[in-house]
Amino acid sequence: FFRQTPMGHLYRHYLFACTTLFLLVIMPSEALSQPASAAIEKIESIISKDEGGRGMESLVVRGDLRRAAELLARLKPLRASSAGPAHILILSGFPCCVNESPPTETDGPPGSFAIARAVVGLGHKATIVTDECNHEVFRAAKKDVGVWAEGSLELEIFPSEDRMDSSDYEKMSHLVNVADLIVACERAGPAEDGHCYTMRGIDMNSKGLIAPLHKIVEMGRKEKIDGKVDSSVRFVAIGDGGNEMGMGKVLDTIRTNPKIKNGSKIAAVTPADYLIAASVSNWGGYALAASAAVVRADDTFRSQDSSVCYKEMLKRWIEACVPQKEDEISLLNRCVQAGCRDGVSGKLEATVDGMPLEKSLECLQHIRVAALDGNNA
């Protein structure tokens, strides 16, 4: 049906565009089918096993992965004046390798670009936002990321808070004014004292590394779109340690969990509407991408003739939204070549949170299998 020919590619993109238009404009939101819900529950169980032994299992909010995926897959532009697709801001960057240049860690960029891939695959537009100190790594990640990103993925950079000027805040305000959803993936979040800390309790603000990206979330929550009540921009967050933006939703748990060292000091106070806690934040990005693909496939299947092969439809949405192993190997290698380091070991190597790359690739594969096999329609 979709042969690897120029005409086949054109027809595939045409079908996806028509389906996206139908779902976003015509089809109302519905409850997921049982098989789709089961697939997402399986994915949630895969990413919440606390592989690093840092107590993250206590941070899991059951059902928030599904709720976030439904929001992303069914997202519509919030403003009546919007003529184009929905626009998602993806906040990332955790400069915990404070004595290195760049100080960027390997957890964050892959997950953020996985989310961006899903955003674009679903017919939306994505902008990844990070700190100036992380620019080299994220720019390297974006380079050669794939044809899917052309014209639909942007990268925005902000300086540390002490160097922000009026033009930076104007740019930040503009981003909020065109955003329909904000997603954070392994994004450093301010603690109660307003500073962002590493898991070891090192103050990253005092090192001049942190841009005030939390203000994007604050601005989005204050905005009353088209004068409507309860019309603010919603916020989805992914984290693994308790010091990431969005973890304010489970603030007390972070502070009291004995497995989370320095919990009272490092706990991030900004709460997410939907929080996805994962053993590794990159894995949470893979999970959100795959789960959104499941939701879109489920909605598409139920909106069309039942004779359409569900499995084939699901495969197409997963291919459009979820990276392959080869994509992640190449992306992480580009990041490391740009100076990105393992945030746990501090080594300049393609490992994440002290785990070999094979562990992340294994998780990605398990997520893809769960997305496909968890559905029996």
The residue length of the chain stands at 377
pLDDT for residue 1 is more than 70: no
Supply the pLDDT for residue 369. 97
Mean pLDDT of the chain: 91
Supply the pLDDT for residue 224. 72
Nearest C-alpha neighbor of 187 from the set 255, 107, 99? 107
Q: What is the average per-residue pLDDT within 106-128?
A: 99
Q: Please name every residue paired with 334 in a beta bridge, in sequence order, or none if there are none.
A: none
327 falls within a domain: yes
Q: Count CB neighbours of 274 within 10 A.
A: 24
7 falls within a domain: no
**What is the C-alpha to C-alpha distance for residues 231 and 179, in angstroms, rounded to an integer?**
12
Give tens-digit pLDDT for 185-230. Answer: 999 999 999 999 999 999 999 999 999 999 999 999 997 777 676 6
Return the axis-axis angle of helices 6-21 and 310-321, rounded to nearest 10°.
100
**What is the C-alpha to C-alpha distance for residues 129 and 69, in angstroms, rounded to an integer?**
21
Supply the pLDDT for residue 8. 46
Q: What is the average per-residue pLDDT within 77-101?
A: 94
Burial class (CB in 10 A: 0-12, 13-18, 19+), 372: middle
20 falls within a domain: no
Tokens 């532009």 belong to residue: 77
Which residues make Cβ contacts (< 8 Å) with residue 336, sequence separation at least 6?
A: 106, 348, 349, 350
pLDDT for residue 375 is more than 80: no
23 falls within a domain: no
**pLDDT band for position 305 (cuts 50, 70, 90):** low
Report yes or no: 346 and 30 within 8 Å, Cβ to Cβ: no
Count: domains in the chain: 1
Percentage, residues of the chain above pLDDT 90: 81
Give tens-digit pLDDT for 168-180. Answer: 999 999 999 999 9
Which residues make Cβ contacts (< 8 Å) with residue 283, sequence separation at least 6?
A: 46, 47, 111, 360, 363, 364, 367
81 falls within a domain: yes
The mean-pLDDT minimum among 2-11, 40-49, 54-63, 152-161 falls in 2-11
pLDDT for residue 9 is more than 60: no
Domain extent at residue 144? 32-373
CA 170 to chain centre: 24
Q: List the beta strands (DSSP E) in the chain.
A: 87-93, 125-131, 153-158, 181-187, 234-239, 274-277, 351-352, 355-356
CA distances from 227 to 175, 232, 241 (A): 18, 10, 37
Supply the pLDDT for residue 306. 56
pLDDT for residue 5 is more than 50: no
5 falls within a domain: no
Q: Please name every residue paired with 156 in a beta bridge, in sequence order, or none if there are none.
A: 129
pLDDT for residue 331 is more than 50: yes
**pLDDT band for position 27 (cuts 50, 70, 90):** very low
* CATH code, domain with 153: 3.90.1640.20
Nearest C-alpha neighbor of 244 from the set 261, 219, 279, 269? 269
Q: What is the average per-residue pLDDT within 157-176?
A: 98
203 falls within a domain: yes
19 falls within a domain: no
